[in-house]
Structure 1
C-alpha cells in the first residue's frame, strides 16, 4: 500500500495543542471516573432525569474534547482522508472487515477465557441507548467519541510516541490503556471484563499501523463498530441483550 504512508511534510513531534487536548481528556476523564460525586452545581435541578443529565455531561465533555482533538490534528486528518480517498474501494472494504475481525477475535478470546462479563461502562451505555432517541445517541457514540479516542490512543500514543519509544511497545501501551480507560474507577480489571476492549483495541491498532499510521481509517472502523452496537441495542429486546 504505497499510498498509505506517513506524510513527510507533517512533523510527528508532540505539539502544545496535543498537550492541551490530551491534558483536557485525561483530567476530566479521571474526574468523571474517580470523583463522580463532585457533580455540576445546579445540573440536577435543571435536568431532573439522571440519564438525561448524564448524557448532557458526556456530550459536553466529548464535544469539548473533540473540538480540541480536531484543533490539534486537523492537518493530519485532512491529509489522511485524502490518502484514503485514493483507494476508496479498499477503504470501504476495510471498515466492515475490521469490525468482523474485531467480533471474531472477541469470540476466539472468549473461547479461552470463558463468557465475557458485562462491564459497568457497557451497562451504562446500554442504559443511555435504550432510554434516549438515536438522534441524541449516534452523534455522541458514533461520531464524536471514536474520533477523540483514536486521536488519543492511536495518533498520540503510537504515531507520535513512537518517535521516542519502540513502536511495538507503543502498540501494547495503546491497547492496554484503551481497554483500561473504559473500566477506570468502575470495577476490577478482570480478564473477562477486559477482553472485548482488548480485542477491539488490538484490531484498531493493527489497522492503524498497517495503514501507515492513519488514524482516520481506524476512526472509521471504530465508528462502524459503535454504530453496529447502537443499532443492535435498539433492535434487540433488552432481555436478549442480557
Structure 2
C-alpha cells in the first residue's frame, strides 16, 4: 500500500502565510464616522428636546405669534429681538450642543479645502442674488425689508454690537438646528430627504420674507444652505459655518459702509 506524499498536517511557511478571520464582518466595518445628526430614529427624550425648542420657535418665527403683553412697552425692536434670540440660543446650546460638538468630525479630513469651499459657495450665492435682482429690478434694486431692518439696527441702535453678534453667530446657530437638524436630519427618518429638504428650504426663505419679492434675496442662500447640510453627511456644524460666514460678511459690509459714508 502506498501513502499520499502530500503532508496532511497544517504547516506555515513564507509561501503560504496564515490567514486569520477579519475582526469585523465586511458589512459592519466602517472607515469614517458619520456625524451625530445622521438619520437615526429619535428617542422619546429627543422628541422632548425638539418639542420644547421647536414648537415655540415655529410659533414665534413662522407664525409670528408674539404676545404683545410679554414685551415691555419701553423696549424697541432691536432689544426685543435680542431678548428673544437669547432665549432660543440658550435652548439650542443646552439641548443640541452634542450635535454641534460631534459634527466637527466632518472637518477632520481636508479641513482647509472644506473651509475654502464655503467661501466659494458664498461668492456663487452673492453673484446669483445680484444677477437675479438686477434682472428683475434693474440697476437700482430695492433692499429686502428684513435686510433693511438689520441695517437700521446695526447703524442706529445702542445695542448694535450685541445685535451684530446675534446676526452673525447666534441666529445662524439657532436656525440651523431648526431648519436643518430637525426638519431634515430628524424628519428624513420618516420621509425622503429631498422632500423634507425642499420644505426646509422654502420655510427658511419664507421666514425671512416680509413680501414675496424678498424671496429673490433669500431663496438662493436657503437652497445652498440645504445642499451644504445634505452633502456634508448632515453636519449641522458645517452648515452653521456657512450660515455664519454669510451673515458675518453682511454685517462687516454694513459697518464698513457706515464708516465710509461720512467721508464720501
Paired position in structure 1 for 2:95: 72
Please state how far the C-alpha of 1:111 moved relative to its aligned partner: 5.3
Q: Distance in 1 between matches of 2:191 and 2:117?
A: 28
TM-score by length of 2: 0.75
Gaps of 5+ in 2: 1-30
Deviation at 1:65, TM superposition (A): 0.8
SS of match in other structure, 1:118: coil
Instruction: After superposing the two structures, state which structure 1 stretch, 67-76 or 109-118, moved more.
Output: 109-118
From the superposition, tell whether residues 85 and 57 of structure 1 become closer, same or farther in structure 2 (CA, over 3 Å): farther
Task: Count how many residue pairs are aligned between Structure 1 and Structure 2.
Answer: 225
Q: Distance in 2 between matches of 1:227 and 1:177?
A: 22
Q: What is the CA RMSD across the aligned residues, in angstroms?
A: 2.7
8 A Cα contact 1:4 1:211, kept in partner: no
- How far apart, CA to CA, are the structure 1 residues paired with 2:114 and 2:232? 10
Q: Distance in 2 between matches of 1:57 and 1:82?
A: 36
In structure 2, the partner of 1:29 is 61
96 and 3 in structure 1: CA distance in 2 versus 1, 3 angstrom threshold: farther
Q: 1:106 aligns with which of 120, 129, 133?
A: 129
Q: Tell me what 2:204 maps to.
A: 178
2: distance between equivalents of 1:226 and 1:15? Answer: 30
TM-score (norm. length: structure 1):
0.81
Tell me how far apart the structure 2 counterparts of residues 205 and 86 of structure 1 sit (CA, whole Å). Answer: 21
Question: Where does residue 187 of structure 2 map in the other structure?
Answer: 161
Partner of 2:3: none
Cα distance in 1, alignment partners of residues 185 and 83 from structure 2: 27
Of Structure 1 and Structure 2, the greater helix share is in: 1
Match of 2:238 among 197, 214, 217: 217
Match of 1:5 among 34, 43, 60: 34
Q: Which runs of 5+ in 1 are unaligned?
A: 48-52
Conservation of the 8 A alpha-carbon contact between 2:155 and 2:258: no
In structure 1, which of residues 104, 129, 141 is the aligned counterpart of residue 167 of structure 2? 141
Residue 184 of structure 2 contacts residue 196 of structure 2 at CA under 8 Å; is this kept in 1?
yes
Asked if structure 2 preserves the Cα contact closer than 8 Å seen for 1:12 and 1:159, the reply is no
Structure 1 partner of 2:115: 92
